[in-house]
Amino acid sequence: MELVVKDTVIDFEDNYLNLNNFINKFNLNKYFIVTDSNVYKIYHNEISKWFKDSKVIVIDAGEENKNIDTVLYIINNLLKEGITRGDTIIAVGGGVVSDICGFVASILYRGIKHIMIPTTLLSMVDATIGGKCGVDHAERKNIIGSFYEPKGIYITPKFLETLPKEELESGLGEVVKYAFLDNNFKLLEEDNLINIIKESVLIKKYYVEADFKDTGLRMYLNFGHTFGHAIELKKGILHGQAVLEGIKMIFDLEADLGLDISREKALYEALLKKFDLAVKGYNYKDYIEDIFNDKKNFNGILNIVFIKDFKPYLYKTTKGELYDKIRNK
């Protein structure tokens, strides 16, 4: 199956067999591979086979390496190997690799082509889709970045066969989020993983194409992320796990503000049970200060994505207003 999100061609395949045919679609000149140490350890033989004679740059795995130093490391190595404006970066890895490589591609020579081959569920349903790329800095998630679309994305669940359980759970955190952004996504009833991935991508496609620069409707994709980003950085947990925590914290906040979200909470709990996912249940009040450092804070007014009647909307508040409303809760 082929799908186009804005200007990005996405292929969904059962395995790796059509990967080279996919790459050949783009009539590339020379390309350079960027991956991380975990992926390279498992797939170095396959990478050598898929991309004969191409330079492979390996970065250290982990969110703690998603920073400007890694960006400069990649750029320095690419320049050393003679990359030109007409060449292409191919990112093979999860969300950290795709975020960094997209950002590198957006700034090197003021923009070169890049292609994504996601190897985690999180990167298949979220990180590679929609052109958002960047790095963390000063204890803030993705605070340095750009909007820059890849030319293509090759998605196959075959990579998930070697994915650690906690990484699969992290991806499911983003998938659960989508169940609240589109009433037609009957996630509770769906068991086929490739169908779950495709449906998640289609939902993100809708929001990306409606609001590419993230000034309105696309903000809804940040459901669970306002608190989630703060937890991810402070507790060092995986992104999707932090999103799951962030969704619960949003529901707790909505309840304290007097909103009836009992049906939404019931679906959330049913989805946790279906996928055998657990949350620690952090207290949202402990993270109020942190969420006002979020990128959705405009001139002191924070836009928080709430859900009501299974529809997302933006709840706008200042720090003072929010403290006043929850003080006695």
Question: Tell me, what CATH number does 222's domain have?
Answer: 1.20.1090.10
Specify the pLDDT at position 233.
Answer: 87
Pull the structure tokens for residue 169. Answer: 């759970």
Same domain, 51 and 183: no
Alpha-helical runs (H) found in the chain: 19-24, 37-50, 68-80, 95-107, 121-122, 165-178, 193-210, 225-235, 239-256, 262-274, 288-291, 319-326
Same domain, 215 and 236: yes
Same domain, 43 and 100: yes
Residue 93 and residue 102 in contact, taking contact as beta carbons nearer than 8 Å: no
Specify the pLDDT at position 69.
Answer: 98
Same domain, 270 and 244: yes
Pull the structure tokens for residue 268. Answer: 């959330």
pLDDT tier, 298 (very low <50, low <70, confident <90, very high otherwise): confident
Interval 243-258 mean pLDDT: 97
Distance separating alpha carbons of residues 245 and 228, to the nearest angstrom: 6
For residue 283, how many other CB atoms are within 10 A of its CB? 8
Interval 207-228 mean pLDDT: 95
Same domain, 300 and 279: yes
Specify the pLDDT at position 1.
Answer: 82
Specify the pLDDT at position 85.
Answer: 96
Same domain, 269 and 289: yes
Same domain, 171 and 155: no
Question: Of 162, 181, 210, which residue sits at a domain end?
Answer: 162
pLDDT (tens digit per residue) in 123-151: 999 999 999 999 999 988 899 999 999 99
pLDDT (tens digit per residue) in 189-212: 999 999 999 999 999 999 999 999
Lowest mean pLDDT among 9-13, 15-19, 217-221, 297-301: 297-301
Question: Of 134, 162, 190, which residue sits at a domain end?
Answer: 162
3-state DSSP call for residue 152? strand
Interval 102-131 mean pLDDT: 98
Distance separating alpha carbons of residues 65 and 272, to the nearest angstrom: 30
Distance separating alpha carbons of residues 213 and 233, to the nearest angstrom: 24
For residue 35, how many other CB atoms are within 10 A of its CB? 25
Residue 274 and residue 179 in contact, taking contact as beta carbons nearer than 8 Å: no
Distance separating alpha carbons of residues 162 and 69, to the nearest angstrom: 28
First to last CA, the chain: 50
Return mean pLDDT, the chain: 95
Same domain, 309 and 211: yes
Same domain, 23 and 140: yes
pLDDT tier, 35 (very low <50, low <70, confident <90, very high otherwise): very high
Range of the domain at 128: 2-162
Question: Among residues of the chain, what percentage have pLDDT more than 90?
Answer: 90
Same domain, 79 and 122: yes
Interval 242-269 mean pLDDT: 97
Nearest to 209 by CA among 66, 1, 10, 22: 10
Same domain, 11 and 115: yes
Pull the structure tokens for residue 185. Answer: 């996504």
Question: Of 117, 136, 162, which residue sits at a domain end?
Answer: 162
Q: What is the CATH number of the domain that holds 116?
A: 3.40.50.1970
Nearest to 245 by CA among 267, 272, 212: 272
Pull the structure tokens for residue 195. Answer: 């169908």
Same domain, 10 and 57: yes
**Angle in degrees, 0-180, between the axes of helices 262-274 and 165-178, rounded to the nearest 10:** 150
> Has residue 297 got a pLDDT over 80?
no
> Has residue 53 got a pLDDT over 90?
no
Interval 160-179 mean pLDDT: 96
Domain count, the chain: 2
